[in-house]
Amino acid sequence: MTKLNETHDPALTSWVASANDGRTDFPIQNLPFAVFRRQGSQEPWRGGVAIGDQIVDMHAALGAAVFEGDALPAARAAAETTLNQLMGLGAVALSHLRRALSKALQTGSKNEAALKACLIPQSQAEYALPASIGDYTDFYTSIHHATNIGKQFRPDNPLLPNYKWVPIGYHGRSSSIGISGQSFKRPQGQIKPPDADTPQVKPSARVDIELEMGIFVGQGNALGESISIEQAESHIFGLVLFNDWSARDIQPWEYQPLGPFLAKNFASTVSPWIVTMEALAPFRASFAHPADDPQPLPYLSSAANSAAGGLDIQLEALIETPRMRNDKAEPARITLTNYRHAYWTAAQLVTHHTLNGCNLQPGDLLGTGTLSGPSLDQACALIELTSGGKNPVQLPNGESRTWLEDGDTVILRGWCEKPGTTRIGFGECVGTVLPST
């Protein structure tokens, strides 16, 4: 696992003033990666690094000869039109680049003048997916979410027998994953209410959110070779916010016996900035299954994973209705949770995914699954927050929501903070539901 180094020093400040205000998601201790260009331009997409409210244009920084030595190969990869090449270089190369960026952006850096000319305000940028996502797998790592959903269908036995033994997942569709700002039409599908004789094809009336995190794979593995729990995190590039939208009235009719299909592949949204595992090192948390639960099998267990396999990441979801926009009212928070409640760690997901020799590739995306916490106010989907649609969520302006309505925008945010560290964050993951026609 990544250890603390000089890039994590909370005393570090940057000559980019907005990185030092204590509120930004992107202080010098973070330095996340994205793919961007100027809004409305036909410029080539290229990699960038967030610092305060600015972006370091990595293509321009290469031209300014800011990087040298061990950092140079990774800097070249970070300037490409996708980050796949950078991801494939592995954790050591990425660490060299982060150190070089940290030194170049620090107060008093000799590179200030050269790098200042390579900055672009985030307010002037638009973003693309940070990687070409070859494959996408969604997991089911919150036991609280699994229990809440299971109770609605199997009150006496909400968890299936395998849940506490194996990280449950399914292969999703990467083509419908979009970047923050994504708008999508309300999906339609076959829907069969319990009291109907035949299904009907119609637009979903139960569009839902799923607050998750996305794990971008870094260095891959060869087909037939598994990744050990001890090595798993060296194969993770970093994390993003992830909203895996769902159609709850399509899902129950179609998911048996092979699992999610049209209810889950019409849209998924990721935040643009990938926060690296190295940047998250100060926010590690211990990990353990409850003593009365089955303990992870040996291939899913290590001393390091038990000591610090968890991540203390605060997560929230907010909703902005059309009325709120018209009234210029602030979006309303509907849930607040933490990634540390997950039943399986990121390393365990990578290890289990490759147990059979499955070959992960740079830029593959793993979804954590809905990250609901132990109490109802920490539930991360409307199907939980409303108890299956029975108890609408009341919003501060007098509106209520059972399911998402046309024009609703959902905003996900995530951040890490604790005493003795500098707060870092993930930016926002934003998506909007449009009418079906």
Q: Using the 3D structure, point to which of 128, 151, 181 is the last residue of a domain.
A: 128
CATH number for position 202? 3.90.850.10
Q: Using the 3D structure, point to which of 128, 157, 183 is the last residue of a domain.
A: 128
At 55, which helix (H) or strand (E)? Answer: strand 54-57
Range of the structural domain that residue 39 is part of = 6-128
**CA nearest neighbour of 146 among 302, 404, 419, 344:** 344
- 249 and 108 in a single domain? The answer is no
Q: How far apart are CA 68 and CA 66, in angstroms?
A: 7
Active site residue 352: no
- 339 and 229 in a single domain? The answer is yes
Q: Is the whole-model pTM more than 0.85?
A: yes
Tokens of 189: 């599908």
Q: What is the pLDDT of residues 361-420, one digit of tens each?
A: 999 999 999 999 999 999 999 999 999 999 999 999 999 999 999 999 999 999 999 999
**For the chain, percent of residues with pLDDT exceeding 70:** 100
- 68 and 146 in a single domain? The answer is no
Residue 1 lies in a domain: no
Q: What is the pLDDT of residues 129-167, one digit of tens each?
A: 999 999 999 999 999 999 999 988 888 889 999 999 999
- 120 and 219 in a single domain? The answer is no
- 53 and 146 in a single domain? The answer is no
Catalytic residue among 145, 235, 352, 353: 145
- 307 and 417 in a single domain? The answer is yes
Q: How far apart are CA 331 and CA 39, in angstroms?
A: 24
* Residues near 6 by beta carbon (within 8 Å), at least 6 away in sequence: 99, 102
- 73 and 152 in a single domain? The answer is no
- 286 and 385 in a single domain? The answer is yes
Instruction: Give the neighbor-by-neighbor strand order of the sheet with 54-57.
Output: 119-121, 54-57, 46-51, 33-38, 125-128
- 229 and 323 in a single domain? The answer is yes
The total number of structural domains that make up the chain:
2
**CA nearest neighbour of 274 among 370, 343, 362, 349:** 362
Q: Using the 3D structure, point to which of 97, 112, 128 is the last residue of a domain.
A: 128
CATH number for position 108? 2.30.30.230
Helix H segments across 229-286? 251-254
Q: Which residue has the tokens 């998911």?
A: 255
- 228 and 292 in a single domain? The answer is yes
- 122 and 96 in a single domain? The answer is yes
| Distance set, CA 67 to CA 36, 73, 80, 83 (Å) | 20, 9, 15, 18
